[in-house]
Structure 1
Amino acid sequence: MLENIYISRHGFRSNWVDSSITTSVTGMSRDPPLAAHGLDQAQELAEFFANPPSGEGLPVPELLFSSPFFRCIQTATYTAKRLGMPLKLEHGVQEWYSQVLPDTGLHPRPGHAEHLKQFFPDVLDEAYRSTVYASRSGESVSELQARCDLFVDAFVNRIEAEYPNVKTVAIFAHAASVIALGRSLTGDRTKEIRAGCATTSFYRRKSTSTSDKSAQPELQSNGTSHSTVNGTKSTGTVGCWDCLWDGRADYLAQGEERNWGFQDITLNADGHVISDRGDGNPVKPGDDQPVGLAPGMEKYLTREDVYSPLKRGTAAPGQDVERAVLSMTAEPSAKDTRPPALQRKGSGAMIESRM
């Protein structure tokens, strides 16, 4: 049974040092690689996973999962090589993009392992397929959370069905998805989870013997229990995990950097989000597919699928008052004493500054 989940953010990005860098060798838009500093952080993170601090009783990951964006795979690759295990790509934990402006295309979506193996030979698991897919038309804050709820529920049950002896996994993702995943696991939508570069949060499943109602199977609207998946009893998914620590950075030589949280987002004066431009390509029917739960993953779902982009489709002007973007005027919470090249800087792109 799955008992422990590590969730780490990718390392320091190259476009924070040189804003002219907009892509990696993949050629996909908004896919910058790690900076040299980010590669150093990835190595430090790999050493932390391979040799957890003595006396803490931390388990070593048995399976590794990563967002398919280049910077996340780069970060995770060091751990995969250090532990000698393949890396599985999961679109369900990919970056959060705001809703696309009409007639500007869709947001980018990386390919599968067979498309990316040329850049990461002998690392990627080509047989594994994602559990959930984010909408290429973008998401509101509530839709991002719904996506992560959907992912956590199906993913945990899937791991327990396909890898019944695995107790510990590690996921490499982005700031917004790191936080939303944490809120899905704990069920606490108000928890301020930190997400600095290459930092790690650690979640442990609540004991099934606890009297805490949040650890019990969820109920459908008709009162029946979501306690069985493919004839196997489910011991809890969304809201059934404790966060033992978040945003850990003591293994990083320069500590926590470019910390981001949902407290950094804001709405415009009209209460609507400032939508983002897509990739500029014409949109053909089916270009946004798949969206939400991947085909064949229904058997692992034990809660209602409420991922609304499936129903909403692409953007409409002024739609969805819950949508939010980064505040470009927000000041760092503490004085940044690092070299200028490593300091946090504002950006004209609302999402680019935190992916």
Structure 2
Amino acid sequence: MIEVVYVIRHAFRSNWSVNPQTGEYSSSTKNPTGIPTDPPLASYGVEQARELADYLCTIDPPVDRIYSSPFYRCLQTLKPTTDRLFAEGKAGGKIRVDRGIGEFFGIAHFEHPTPPDLKILAPFFTNLDHDHSSTHIPHSRGERILELHDRVNRALETIITSLDEDPEQPKALLICTHAATMIAIGRALTGKMPEDPDEDDFQCYTASLSRFQRNKKGGKQVIGNWDCVLNSETGYLSGGAERGWKFNGEESFVSFAEPEPEPLVEDRESPKL
């Protein structure tokens, strides 16, 4: 069974913005994938990714499997680590890109940009698992905060259960994701969902690492069966803890006066990313 889950947030990224009235996204830099919500890391983030790699390549237990959000900045954050681990025949040799652990966009009256698929990402990252398909897909018009948590719960259940059944019996899983999703992962694994989702509990600094240890008394149970033993560790980063984030209840682009939209979380077998 998976015994340890490592969760990292991508490193310091370049900026993008959205006009909440029109739903038009724009980016301050040229994005490799051409998607405005998919900026690369800033130069400072590139250095953070290198420092993170020095830590991840010596961590115990060592990483056996790697899953990532589909956004460029997450895969770019992983690259210094995966280049080293895969060259040594470690960590399964492939990154599984999964939209279930992808970015959180607040519910909107417009469609958010779709993240890049594997055809777009493949020229930049050579070690992607083309046999893996995402099952838990956020709606194109975004999610409410509780819907994000539900999506993350379902995705983790699927991911960890599949690894528990892997004949190679991996022990340690590494996930690279985003701020809101990192918080939701901590709540799902520990089962500690606060009454107020805005509560400041699990941290998510750039290029930070959280570690969750499985409670063996719970057997193969996934949700709520883990202890948080590191909460957004940054001791290996020369700049320390930076760019923390928390829910503030204002993530929605839809006012309460507008009609209630249809349910937004969709579980389905999707084409490969």
TM range (shorter): 0.7 to 0.9
Give the CA RMSD over aligned residues: 2.5
- Give 4+ residue runs of structure 1 displaced > 6 Å after superposition: none
Give yes or no for the alignment of 1:274 onto 2:257.
no
1:106-143 deviation digits (Å, cap 9, x = unpaired):
112224323310122x2222222224222212100110
**From 110, 126, 147, the counterpart of 2:115:** 110
Tell me if structure 2 keeps the 8 A contact 1:22–1:31: no
- The aligned amino acid for 1:195 is C
* Residue of structure 1 equivalent to 2:78: 76
Question: Are the structure 2 counterparts of residues 239 and 136 from structure 1 closer, same or farther at C-alpha, using a change threshold of 3 Å?
Answer: same
> 3-state SS of the aligned residue for 2:182?
helix
Deviation at 1:294, TM superposition (A): 3.0
Matched to 2:67, the amino acid is F
**Matched residue, 2:33:** 26
Structure 1 position 248 matched with structure 2 position 211: no
Question: Which residue is 2:201 aligned to?
Answer: 192
Distance in 2 (alpha carbons) for counterparts of 1:184 and 1:177: 10
Q: How does 1:195-344 map to 2 (within 5 A)?
A: 195-208=204-217, 215=218, 235-262=220-247, 265-267=248-250, 273-275=252-254, 291-294=266-269
> Which sections of structure 1, spanning at least 5 residues, go unmatched?
53-57, 209-214, 216-233, 277-288, 297-355
Amino acid at match of 1:245: L
Identical columns (%):
33
Matched residue SS, 1:159 = helix
TM-superposed deviation, 1:169: 0.9
Tell me what 1:14 maps to.
14
Aligned length: 244
Query: 1:239, CA displacement in angstroms?
Result: 0.4
> Match for residue 335 of structure 1?
none
The residue that corresponds to 2:108 in the other structure is 100
Using a 3 Å threshold, how does the CA distance of structure 1 residues 113 and 176 change in structure 2: closer, same or farther? same
Equivalent AA in structure 2 for residue 248 of structure 1? E
Provide the C-alpha distance between the structure 1 equivalents of 2:27 and 2:140, rounded to a whole number of angstroms: 24
Moved more, 62-71 or 122-131: 122-131
Per the normalisation by structure 2, the TM-score is 0.82
Instruction: Say if 1:198 and 1:249, in contact at 8 Å, map to a contact too.
Output: yes
Structure 1 length normalisation: TM-score?
Answer: 0.64
Show the counterpart of 1:341. Answer: none
- Distance in 1, Cα, partners of 2:265 & 2:228: 31
Residue 41 (structure 1) aligned to one of 48, 52, 58? 48
SS class of match (1:24):
coil
Task: Note if contact 2:151-2:265 (Cα within 8 Å) is conserved in structure 1.
Answer: no
Residue-by-residue CA offset, 1:318-347 (whole Å, 9 max, x unaligned): xxxxxxxxxxxxxxxxxxxxxxxxxxxxxx
Structure 1 match to 2:260? none
Hey, what's the Cα distance between the residues in 2 that align with 1:258 and 1:290?
28
Secondary structure of residue in 2 paired with 1:236: coil
Measured in 1, the distance between the counterparts of 2:74 and 2:210 equals 16
Give matches, 1:145-164, under 5 Å.
145-164=149-168
- The AA in structure 2 aligned to 1:266 is G
User: What CA distance in whole angstroms lies between the structure 2 residues aligned with 1:75 and 1:68?
Assistant: 12
Following superposition, the deviation at residue 35 of structure 1 comes to: 0.3
8 A Cα contact 1:47 1:82, kept in partner: no
Instruction: Give the superposition deviation at 1:2.
Output: 0.7
CA distance in 1, matches of 2:119, 2:165: 24
CA 1:23–1:136 in 2, change beyond 3 Å: closer, same or farther? farther
Larger radius of gyration: 1
Question: 3-state SS of the aligned residue for 2:216?
Answer: coil
Higher strand share: 2
Q: 1:149 to 1:275 in 2, by over 3 A?
A: same
Q: Deviations over 1:149-198 (max 9, x none)?
A: 11111211111123551000100000000010110000001370010100
